Structure formats: structure tokens, C-alpha cells
Structure 1
Amino acid sequence: MTDLPRNADLETMLLGPVLPARDCGDCTACCTHLTVNSPDFAKPAGISCTHLTAGGCAIHTVRPHICRTWFCVWRRRADLPDAARPDRSGLLVSLSFVDHPQNCLEAVFINVRLLPGSDALRNGMAAAMLDRLCDQLVPVWFSDGQQKMLMHPATDVARHILSDTPAPVHLAAEVAAWRERYALFDADRPTAT
């Protein structure tokens, strides 16, 4: 792929459409844990939206455009179980876009956030979710609130994607596929052959 449009079509292409049988229910994790910076609404991460009440969104019927059109990965991936809903799993999974990434694996990626007080590491939910999410040519990063760690692609593959060194034969096809997909975001780096 040579072009990755930055819009809802990209989310649908990488994650699938919003599943009509899934709704947020009582989950309001995105209303607190995400940074929102859109033309019609802004709030910092870790701070509850001013419209969030004990009963949910106080302005749900007239909420900002970003709130009506953004969906976590659980709302799009049928292979994630009901227990993976952010308020149940303690993990908020989203597709992230970075305008000026440090490298091509930080331009468009799946971000798995461990929510405060979550037991997802201890009870195995984080491992189960990562196993399901690390299945395509989309980088997956995990954040525990202190550090951000690349989980997919594997370290040896990532090293070759980001460097000018040729990949060993057993990794060559995988590295080439990643480089081709993300070359748009790493245009200044010459590609090894």
C-alpha cells in the first residue's frame, strides 16, 4: 500500500466497521482517559469530561462531533470478547494517529492503554487482547501509564524496518511488507534492498 488516508475510512480499513450489535453501555472510559483536541471540543487525558455525570453523558443527544464518530477498537473487532469492553477489561484500545512521528511505527498504530487500577496484567486479559491485536501489519503499542512499549512487530522485525540494514532471509518478506506499508511515514529514510 502506498497511501494511508487519515480519516474514518482508514479506521474501517484497519479495524473493520463499527459493529451494530455493540454499544458502549455504561462504559465511559474514553470520556476520562483520552486526550480530545478537536475544533468543537477539547480536554486533557486523565480528566473526566465536564459533561460526564454519574448517569453518563449529560449532553449525549447533542454531543460534539468527535464524540459521535470516535469508537474504541472493542466496538469494531468482533473477535474481542464482551469482557474486553474497556470498563470491564481495564484496557482502552484505540487507533492513534501522530502528525510528526519519531519513526514510521509511531505514525498510525493500535494503542493499548492499561487503565488506572486495572487487573488486566495479572488476570491475563492484557495478554489475550495483545494476542488478538497483533495479527496484521499495524503496529501495536502498550502503555501502562509510565512507559509505552512496542508489542508488534517483534523487536527483531522492528529493528530491520527502522534501519537501513537488510533483513535476514527468514524475516525478509515480513520486513519488506512493513516497509512498503509505512514508507509514506518514513520518506526520508532510504530503503535497504
Structure 2
Amino acid sequence: MLGPVLADRACGDCTACCTVLTVNTPEFAKPAGTPCVHLTTQGCGIHAVRPRICRTWFCAWRRIARMPEDARPDRSGLLVSLTFVQHPQNCLEGVSITVRALEGSNAIENGMAAAVLDSVCDRLVPVWFSDGSEKMLMHPDAEIAGFVLSGDPAPAELHDEVVAWRARYGVFASDA
């Protein structure tokens, strides 16, 4: 969904994922918002032998060429990732892109959040934005999402788009 890792984008000094994300694998686990126990002032203290999840996970900035160059998490104050929710509340939460504003970020005020959202809200992939206190659906827009989630028939001008979203994400629909 995000494409391969881009050769010209490197993590450098960025360690946002090492603190912000939840990791819950048999090999390694840590709660969200807690620095990894292996994180040092120089970066990963076990980089050469780090867990598989750490060797294979890359933020969206490393994988989406149309994201602004300045959107690297430590520079932009935003961490963008592909998110998988095991028990989604609705079909638009199962597999999505999440744009997280990092603590102390001014990405909303300086326009970086808008630029990043513009770069990821152009596909048939739900996009959520979290400012740390709430999570908001940014794509599809509220009208499309309403029809997708309700199952109500969409007006002719929205029909094809609603049908495409339902076809792709209906597998995540709740039976409740």
C-alpha cells in the first residue's frame, strides 16, 4: 500500500517510532509513548541485532515519495504510518494511514500537517489524524464516509466512489 523504501530517504537521527508506537510481537513489546529500552542518546543501542519488527518497519515518510522532504518525523513533528487495527470499530479503521502529531509539534500551525495530509489523502486508503487527544477521519470526506458506514444508498454523483470504498473495506465491516 505504501510502496518500497525510498533509497534517498534515511532515518538519520530520527527515533520517533522508537518512542511513539506500540510494539506487541512475541519477540519484543513496548507500550505507546514509552521510549524503547534499547534507545540511547546515539540511537538504537542494539541496531545490529534489533528485533525483526524494527528491521522491517519504516514510517510512511521513507515510503511515500510525494510526502514533503521536510516531513521526516523529527523535523516535521508528524509520524505517518500504516496502521492495522485487529478489532476495528468500523470498516475504515481496519487498515489505514495514521498521521500522528508528536508531542510539542507545531505541524498544524506551520502548515506541515496540511501538506502531509494532501500527500496521503489521494488514494482509496482511509487516513486518520491524531493530535494525541483525539483521532479524526480525514479521508474519505465525511459525506462519503457516512454513506460507506451506514450502508444507505448514495446519490448518483457519489455512487461510484461509495461503492469503491465499500468493496475495498467491507471485509472490515462489523457484524454487530
In the superposition, the TM-score normalised over structure 1's length comes to 0.89
Q: Kindly, what percent of the aligned residue pairs are identical?
A: 68
Letter in structure 2 aligned against 1:89: S
Q: Residue 80 of structure 2 corresponds to which residue in structure 1?
A: 93
Q: Residue 95 of structure 2 corresponds to which residue in structure 1?
A: 108
Match runs of 1:14-25 below 5 Å: 14-25=1-12
Letter in structure 1 aligned against 2:142: T
Structure 2 residue aligned with 1:63, among 39, 42, 50?
Answer: 50
The structural deviation recorded for 1:188 is 3.4
**Alpha carbon RMSD of aligned pairs, Å?**
1.0
SS state of the match for residue 98, structure 2? strand
The structural deviation recorded for 1:147 is 0.2
What 5-or-longer segments of structure 2 have no aligned partner?
Answer: none
Q: Residue 50 of structure 1 corresponds to which residue in structure 2?
A: 37
Contact 2:68–2:116 under 8 Å retained in 1: no
Q: In structure 2, how many angstroms separate the alpha carbons of the residues matched to 1:143 and 1:179? A: 24
Letter in structure 2 aligned against 1:68: R
Q: Residue 134 of structure 1 corresponds to which residue in structure 2?
A: 121
The structural deviation recorded for 1:80 is 1.3
Structure 2 residue aligned with 1:148, among 100, 115, 135?
Answer: 135
In the superposition, the TM-score normalised over structure 2's length comes to 0.97
The structural deviation recorded for 1:76 is 0.3
Q: In structure 2, how many angstroms separate the alpha carbons of the residues matched to 1:94 and 1:63? A: 20
C-alpha deviations, 1:125-171, integer Å up to 9, x for none? 00111011100000000000000000000000000000121001111
What 5-or-longer segments of structure 1 have no aligned partner?
Answer: 1-13
